[in-house]
Structure formats: structure tokens, C-alpha cells
Amino acid sequence: MKKIAVIGGSGIYNIDSFVEIQEHYVETPFGAPSSNVVEIELDGVRFYFLPRHGKGHKLSPSDINYRANIYALKMLGVDTVISISAVGSLKDDHAPKSFVIPSQFIDWTKGLRARTFFGEGVVGHVSTAYPVERALQERIADELSKTNIPYSVGGSYVCIEGPQFSSKAESEIYRSFGADVIGMTNVPEAYLAKEAGMAYATVAMVTDYDCWKEEHCSVEEIMQVMKENYESAQLLLKNLIPSLGRNPISFEPENKHAVVTNPNIISKENQEIIDMLTN
């Protein structure tokens, strides 16, 4: 049976129809995830919720243990991951309060984040040519089409290190890439999900126009837009989770033949990690 997880901010969690079943403390070979994983029931369908920044939003984007987060969900049997993320817009087409369901990611982080499950005695290669699972992207879009939330499908999300927002010069560089939105959290999260054989897709909630547009936006104003965006995300999830639970998407994991290291020299601990990722 397929299992669903949502990774996002705590603003997603406040839905009246959510019934909390239990919290799961999960210990991984990569350390502790951002928080205990909360198991929730919505309209008869159970799913997991993981607050990306920890309870109380205590973890900066660079301090998040992305490997532990994805691995913990994998240990719980999750194979479908919905990322809910706040972003800045790099195009006029994507106005604040609209949602973008990107197809691609551009990694513009600074190398501070552990971004693969492989290494330390194991070499593995997984294609991230298509980091977003199309079937999941299409299902999200289908559910958004039943709401009044403005949205678009496709395009690229450029991920920067943060926690500072961009300078205007940097913002113009990212626009020159043709990127659609900018955020701080979806890489390496998306690539790790790919290594773990999971279907992954992002709901990118636009809060502002970054700083390329001559429209100064304070952090307070951004937080107000974010609050409204979370209300829209709650509306989406109330329909999306039951839809995925009752009619799961079909996809083919691309991590089955990733490891190229001679199996005779792989340690027991590393083999256990490989087996979990490819299970």
C-alpha cells in the first residue's frame, strides 16, 4: 500500500478535519530529522507530515538535515512526497498568492548541505534529469483546477543557500537563467527523494517578486501573504490527500541499479542503507 507524506511549514498543520493519530520518533543513520513525523488521518486516509524547519520554525534552510528527513519517511514506508514551499517569483506571470508546480530545479546552494545518500564507501548514480514525478505533478494540478487558487504547471525552481534573500544583481542573474521561482529548501530534498525511489513534487507558493521588481516588500508583508498561501494549501490538501489515498499514482523508481561499487566490499551498514533506499 502506497504511503503519502507532506513536507512543509507548520501552517499546513492547522486544518480542522485533520485527526492526529500519533507522532513517530525515527532514528536514521544520518541523524535526527527536523522533528518527529506526525501521522494524520484526513477523510479516512492516513498520511505523514514532517515540519521541514522543525516545530516552531527553528531550523534555517542550511541547518535542515535533508538526508534524515527523507530517510525517516522512507523508513516509515513513504513513497509519495508532496513538498509545500514558500518562494519568490522571478516572472511577472507568477504573482504573489499564486502557486507554481515546477518541473525542474537549479541548485545554486554553496555546498554546505549533504546532498546524497551515497559516499563513504559506496558510489551510486541516480538520474535527476526529471526530479519531479509527472504523475504526481499532474494530480496536484488536477486538484488545483477544482479550486479558485491561481496556478501554473512547469518551469524551474532555483534553490539558493539563504537565509538572506537575494541582492538585486543576483535576482537578475537568476532571471537570466529563465527560472520561474526562487526558494531555499527544495534542493537537495528533491534529489534525495529521487535517490530514495520516491515520487516527489513541489507546490511552490509565491509570496513576492524577490527583489528584481521595483516593489519593495517587507518581511512582515511576506509573512501575511504566506499566511494566506497556507490557507490555500490547506484547501488543496483537503482534496489532494484523499485523492492520492484512494487512487494512488503509478510510477517507476529510478534508483534500483544506482550502486556501481563492488558488492563484496560494501559494509554491512552501507548495505542496510542501500536496501532501505531501494526497497
**271 pLDDT higher than 90:** yes
Most confident of 4-13, 87-96, 218-227: 87-96
Share of the chain above pLDDT 70, in %: 97
Q: Look at residue 2 in the predicted model and tell me its pLDDT.
A: 82
The rounded distance, in Å, linking the Cα atoms of 87 and 65 is 20
Residue in 83, 74, 15, 76 with CA at minimum distance from that of residue 53 = 83
Confidence of residue 24 (pLDDT cuts 50, 70, 90): very high
Q: How many CB atoms within 10 Å of residue 33?
A: 28
- H or E segment at 114? none
What is the pLDDT averaged over residues 239-264?
96
Over the stretch 126-138, which tens digit does the pLDDT of each residue have?
999 999 999 999 9
In percent, the amount of the chain with pLDDT more than 90 equals 89
Task: Return the pLDDT at 175.
Answer: 97
Calculate the average pLDDT of the chain: 94
Q: What is the mean pLDDT of residues 153-158?
A: 98
What amino acid positions are annotated as catalytic residues? 208, 210
pTM here is: 0.96
Give the separation between CA 17 and CA 260, rounded to whole angstroms: 46
pLDDT at 216: 62
pLDDT reported for residue 223? 80
Q: What domains sit in the chain, N to C, each tagged with a CATH number?
A: 4-251 (3.40.50.1580)
Sign of CA dihedral 157, 159, 162, 165: negative
Distance (Å, rounded) from C-alpha 108 to C-alpha 179?
Answer: 12
Per residue in 64-104, pLDDT tens? 999 999 999 999 999 999 999 999 999 999 999 999 999 99
Q: Is the pLDDT of residue 11 over 80?
A: no
pLDDT at 217: 65
| Residue range 35-59, pLDDT digits in tens | 999 999 999 999 999 999 999 899 9
* Confidence band of 180 (pLDDT split at 50, 70, 90): very high
Closest to 126 (Cα-Cα) out of 139, 135, 117, 113:
117
Closest to 149 (Cα-Cα) out of 199, 200, 94: 94
Give 232 or 9, the one with higher predicted confidence. Answer: 232
Mean pLDDT of 151-158: 98
